[in-house]
């Protein structure tokens, strides 16, 4: 995949890897505001934003991970599943190339990219230590929660494209499954990478201690509740 953004630390090898997946009809470069905020907060991280492998079938110069033409609840899962193996191979190769392991990898995405990020860690638990899912959703609510990945969900409360109810339901399900997840909702915000949600992503990365870390320290299975913040 072509990298629209590949920002490496000014000095030394990267200590973290942050991969950002764009939405349908967009490009990796459209995630520059989020990428820049993450780069400023984590200067020793490698921040990458690839362009999706397929041209957007709606026209223009944008790209898509999978087609949304005629997409339904019945066929969405199949379309996403077809993309995941290639994305997984690319992510593993990128981790190897940059010398950053899965635990120090954050996989983020907006809209269609968020869908892929969430489904990737369901299919391969622990391939990334964190997910930053903006304005996304699960294809279907999971039957099991990742044990080695923390899921951070961010949504505009007035999103007309992917309703915030998807993220609320996801948090509820992940909590019932003893998963490690947080949710931030910006009321009045639509389908966009709003600065308020970017700020909350930085806060979560800096301040949320993964449940698995607590469990390792205590020698126990984590039973921490998922977190939600509506603002």
Q: Which residues are catalytic?
A: 111, 159, 191
Structure token pair of residue 46:
């490698």
- Give phi and psi for 91, each to the nearest 5: -65, -45
Give Dmax (Cα) for the chain.
54
> Inter-axis angle of helices 112-123 and 76-98, to 10 degrees?
80
How far is the C-alpha of 73 from the C-alpha of 162, rounded, in Å? 13
How far is the C-alpha of 8 from the C-alpha of 43, rounded, in Å? 8
Q: Is the dihedral of CA 4, 200, 162, 19 positive or negative?
A: positive
């Amino acid at each position: 995949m072509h990298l629209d953004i590949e920002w490496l630390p000014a000095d030394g090898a990267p200590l973290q890897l942050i991969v950002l997946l764009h939405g349908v009809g967009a490009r990796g470069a459209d995630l520059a505001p989020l990428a820049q905020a993450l780069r400023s907060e984590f200067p020793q991280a490698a921040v990458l934003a690839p362009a999706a492998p397929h041209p957007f079938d709606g026209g223009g110069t944008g790209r898509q991970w999978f087609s949304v033409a005629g997409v339904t609840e019945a066929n969405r899962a199949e379309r996403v599943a077809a993309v995941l193996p290639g994305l997984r191979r690319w992510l593993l190769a990128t981790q190897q190339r940059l010398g950053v392991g899965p635990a120090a990898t954050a996989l983020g995405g907006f809209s269609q990219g968020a869908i892929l990020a969430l489904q990737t860690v369901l299919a391969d638990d622990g391939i990334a230590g964190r997910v930053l899912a903006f304005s996304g959703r699960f294809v279907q609510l999971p039957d099991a929660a990742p044990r080695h990945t923390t899921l951070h969900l961010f949504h505009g409360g007035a999103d007309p494209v992917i309703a915030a109810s998807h993220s609320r339901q996801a948090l509820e399900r992940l909590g019932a499954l003893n998963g490690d997840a947080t949710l931030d909702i910006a009321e009045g915000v639509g389908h966009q990478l709003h600065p308020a949600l970017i700020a909350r992503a930085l806060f979560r990365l800096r301040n949320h201690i993964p449940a698995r870390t607590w469990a390792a320290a205590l020698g126990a299975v984590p039973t921490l509740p998922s977190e939600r913040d509506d603002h």
